[in-house]
Amino acid sequence: MITGYVSNIAKKAMSLDKDYLVVLLVFMLVLFSAKAYASVSVPDQVIVSDETTFFVEITNDSDKQVDLKVNFFAPIKNEIVAPSKIAPFGKANAKITVFNTKYDESTELNATVEIKMDEKVEQKNVALVFAKNSSTSAFAGLFSFSTFTQQIESFSIFQWAVFWILVIVAAILLIAFISRVRNRV
């Protein structure tokens, strides 16, 4: 009798395990079949002089082409350049240019970037910090030293090692090239 009682408990436990497995399987299917629709990368803070441009990276994580609409809400004149569609699993960049005509140095405003992909809407906040326009060169927009230093600060140790190895190899090749040219002349 005791043996039969134990087998009944074992059968009930096994049937409960199957139920749990079915629920777990359904949960996993729902979880992994519902893909994220989009991911948006926006800078947290933008330093604004007279005319400042920043970029918003938008990634379409779905398996279909979607319509794209980018809006920028701020009490300042702005211009948005963005594609109207994003390919499946594709990336797009929206270029937002902000024109300062009325705000003084050290003023800070909150702005919102709104991304509409078909019916999904995602909003990201951006802090606009106003500064004096210190650039007097016509080429200031082509090469910004502050942007360059920000990019250098984000290098990892491995990237620095590869960078310096490539610099040394380039220097050796340049010296070898110059010595061969001098020997031919």
Give this prediction's pTM.
0.53
DSSP 152: H
Question: What are 40's two structure tokens?
Answer: 């948006």
Q: Tell me: pLDDT of 69 over 90.
A: yes
**Average confidence (pLDDT) over 35-62:** 82
The Cα 121–Cα 49 span in angstroms is 29
Average pLDDT over residues 155-180: 88
Query: Superfamily for 38-138?
Result: Immunoglobulins (2.60.40.10)
How does pLDDT run across 88-105, given as a tens digit for each residue? 888 888 999 998 888 888
Q: Are 181 and 175 in contact (CB under 8 A)?
A: no
Per cent of the chain over pLDDT 70 is 68
How many Å separate Cα 178 from the centre of its chain?
Answer: 43
Residues 6 or more apart whose CB falls under 8 angstroms from that of 83 comprise: 68, 92, 94
Q: What is the mean pLDDT of the chain?
A: 77
CA angle 67, 72, 76 (to 5 degrees): 155
Q: Is 8 in a helix, a strand, or coil?
A: helix
Going by pLDDT thresholds of 50, 70 and 90, the confidence category of residue 12 is low
Burial class of residue 6 in the structure, from the number of CB atoms within 10 Å of its CB (0-12 exposed, 13-18 middle, 19+ buried): exposed
Dump pLDDT digits (tens) for 116-165. Answer: 988 888 899 999 888 876 544 445 455 555 666 666 666 778 888 888 99
Closest CA to 109 of 75, 72, 132, 71: 75
Domain ranges of the chain: 1-34, 38-138
